[in-house]
Structure 1
Amino acid sequence: MTTAVAENGSAATLSPMNMKPTTETQIQGQAPLRVARVIVNLFSRVGKREPPAPEKTEHIRLISIATSHFVEKARWGLDMLEESKESPLFYTEDLHTPAFASFFTVPASKNKASQTPMIVRSDDTVMWGSDTILRELCSGKNGAPINLYPGDLKDEIMELEDELGRRLGASGRCYAYGSFMLDKQYYGLAIQQTTSNCSKVEQKVFEKMFDKGIDKALIDLMNINDEVMETSARELRAMFGELSDRLERTGDEYLVGNTFTAADLAFATLVYFIVRPPECEPLLIPEKGMPPKLLGLFHELAATKAGQHALKIYKKHRPVDAAGKLVLKNVNQNHNPFKLF
């Protein structure tokens, strides 16, 4: 069974949230991608963690781009389920770079989707899109212990969640990627950010190919240009302003119903790379050397009431380790096919 779902549409002035999908035909038709897939598949592997507890009997594979804000949204929900003793679910994160993630999502979805996050369940059910994953696994369905869409708040939560995805998803991604990729002096940081936690071969191949076509392909996929950058910055400021006003007006601790819901989780994750919560340290590169204009906007937004709300949500509700950091539930993906002993 395959559930075909995409992320929400974006604001009309921004590139679509659901970026142009990659198909098997496209991978096969482009020699650099075809060769890269052969190398990556040869020297890396898809692994599986051991169950962390006896009650964890159902495994989920999360195919991801580590630093994606949409992936972090799905990851947070999965961490809550794995942390719950009442849930049989545990997962392994299958980490990849932008562009190369399609080598794994396309076959997993039988050529129906290339985006992340994508999950593959024990019964081979495949789902993609952070909204779909969260709503399927964390809405109390089939007795699931986590319900981020409680009772009569569900419609309001989903409406706000959709708006957050439309307005913050594309604008945040375009502004962040564009700040690094429209100026080649920041290519090193872009590579460092996008290849963290992947297999060594995937990191190396991505790095070698980055300025030989991957850069232009990603810019085209997101339709990044100076006008879109300005539009993205305006939209980010507008959304943070509106949410700050909402929190100020209601005086509530949370966005909907004065309780922690998918609306708070969605907002916090979609802006984690902007407000930079300490819990997300494993996903973030240091600020040193980052584009000044990017840092200026990030610091401005983090100081707003909405920005402080996102930081509070991470501090109070994000599952973390003893050091207060989120944990990537991955395994060693490096593989040497020529090792004889």
Structure 2
Amino acid sequence: MTGVIKDRDQSQDQGQNKQTQLNFSLRTIGISHYNEKARWALDYYRIPYVEHRSMPVLHMISMFKYRASSRPSPTNTRFVTPYLSAVPDSSAAGDLANEVKLNDSTAIAEFLSDQYAAPPKSKQSDSSSSSSCPPPNLYSNDAATKAKILALEERFGKMIGPHVRIYVYNEVLLHSPKSVGKAMGQHDNVGRLQAWIWTVFFGLLSWLLVKSLHISDKSAARSKEILRREFEHISRVLESGPPGPAYLVGNQFTAADLTLASLGGAAVGIGREDGYGAWVPQLTNARPEAQAFCEELRQTTAGKHILECYKLHRGEKAAGSSYGFSFFGLW
């Protein structure tokens, strides 16, 4: 699965760029909304890649070889996903000394934007057509605008991501029939061996998840209120924006919108049919109180914005993308 990376040197002064072919591989917890952000960035720039998907807890087996040398943050283990690697083609190996390795969704999105976004309009060739031009930079070409986007990404990473995870896992693992939780390992989310292990040992694996993430009715209730307030805040931001299409920063889709939609999608019932990169349980099929909360968020300006982002900007995988398996195609 190859993409082209731009390696700028002195020849750029004469308007020339060296290009290196890269093979992209993305290792994920398929159902994870953090991993959805990295998938979306790759799909947004139409970059072909191989995705190796795992289930929670079982991902530690898949990621053992790719584990970080130390914990990236207090809330992450050394087996953090997503993990993107970009390896040069053998024919172009001399153009890039080292393999590109990134294990943070924001770092992945930034890297892809730096390498594959359309150049600023002032630098675009007059002969380039809009159909052949790459998508715009998710982080803008303006430093001040980029700072705003990064600040929103950081906020959503704290106020949306962890609380959606706690709330949804509480519903799926503690308040839904076991068949719903077991189904996360089905629907081609992982290889057959992983699916079998997830199904047979679901009780143990779900218990480990609940304990490690401190999931309970109390923590879920707290996360629910935080999500409600955050969606209200985001709605005010969107409603106070400039005339034209409503986006979080300026008047175009950026990494801030992508991050909100990725991390908040599960809270408003986004599923595979909407473009999500894996099968996930729907809150619309959960307990009545969870269904009511999902509908409440969907009716906010922020919730409608998430739905619209998936509708307008969640592209399909690029031609040549595929899923990777190990252990004779079983894992």
TM superposition score normalised by structure 2:
0.74
> What one-letter code is carried by the residue in structure 2 that aligns with 1:265?
L
Q: How is 1:119-268 mapped onto 2 (pairs within 5 angstroms)?
A: 119-122=84-87, 123-140=98-115, 147-150=137-140, 151=142, 152-183=144-175, 185-196=176-187, 197-211=189-203, 213-252=204-243, 253-268=246-261
How far apart are 1:97 and its partner, in Å?
0.5
What secondary structure, in the 3-state scheme, does the structure 2 residue paired with 1:57 have? strand
1:99 to 42, 48, 57: 57
- Give the distance between the partners of 1:173 and 1:270, measured in 2 at CA: 9
2:48 and 2:321 in contact (8 A); partners too: no
Residue 279 of structure 1 aligns to which amino acid in structure 2? D
Could you tell me whether the CA contact under 8 Å between 1:96 and 1:195 is conserved in 2? no
- Per-residue Cα deviation, 1:136-178 (whole angstroms, up to 9, x for no partner): 2224589885521111301111001100110001100000001
Tell me, in whole angstroms, the C-alpha distance in 2 between the residues paired with 1:162 and 1:97: 25
Q: What is the aligned partner in structure 2 of residue 114 from structure 1?
A: 79
Q: Unmatched 5+ residue regions in structure 2? A: 5-18, 71-77, 88-97, 120-133
CA distance 1:63–1:271, shift in 2 (3 Å): same
- 1:280-327 CA distances to partner (integer Å, 9 max, x unpaired)? 365344667523222221111011111111111111211137xxxx99
The 8 Å contact of residues 186 and 291 in structure 1, kept in 2 or not, is answered as no
Unpaired stretches in structure 1, ≥5 consecutive residues: 1-49, 84-88
Give, as a single letter, the amino acid of the residue that structure 2 aligns with 1:58: L
Task: Give the Cα separation in 1 of the matches to 2:218 and 2:327.
Answer: 43
Paired residue secondary structure (1:90): coil
Q: Deviations over 1:67-92 (max 9, x none)?
A: 211111100111122x2xxxxx5311
3-state SS in 2 of match to 1:155: helix
- Residue 64 of structure 1: SS of its match in structure 2? strand
Match for residue 291 of structure 1?
A: 287
1:182-210 deviation digits (Å, cap 9, x = unpaired) = 23x52221121255420001000111112
In the alignment, the residues of structure 2 paired with residue 258 and residue 167 of structure 1 have an alpha-carbon distance, to the nearest angstrom, of: 24
Shift of 1:57: 3.3
Tell me by how many angstroms 1:125 deviates. Answer: 3.1
Residue 309 of structure 2, aligned match among 300, 310, 313: 313
Q: Distance in 2 between matches of 1:223 and 1:285?
A: 20
Match of 1:72 in 2: 36
Question: Contact 1:186 / 1:290 at 8 angstroms: preserved in 2?
Answer: no
Taking a change above 3 Å as real, the CA distance of residues 115 and 142 of structure 1, as seen in their structure-2 partners, is same
- Are 1:280 and 2:244 counterparts? no
**What does 1:32-111 correspond to in 2, within 5 Å?**
57-81=21-45, 83=46, 89-109=47-67, 111=69
The answer on whether the counterparts of 1:148 and 1:260 sit within 8 Å (CA) in structure 2 is yes
Structure ID, larger Rg: 2
Number of positions where the alignment pairs a residue of Structure 1 with one of Structure 2: 276
Listed one character per residue, the Cα deviations across residues 209-239 of structure 1 (whole Å, up to 9, x for unaligned) are 121x212210111111122111100011011
> Alignment identity in percent?
26
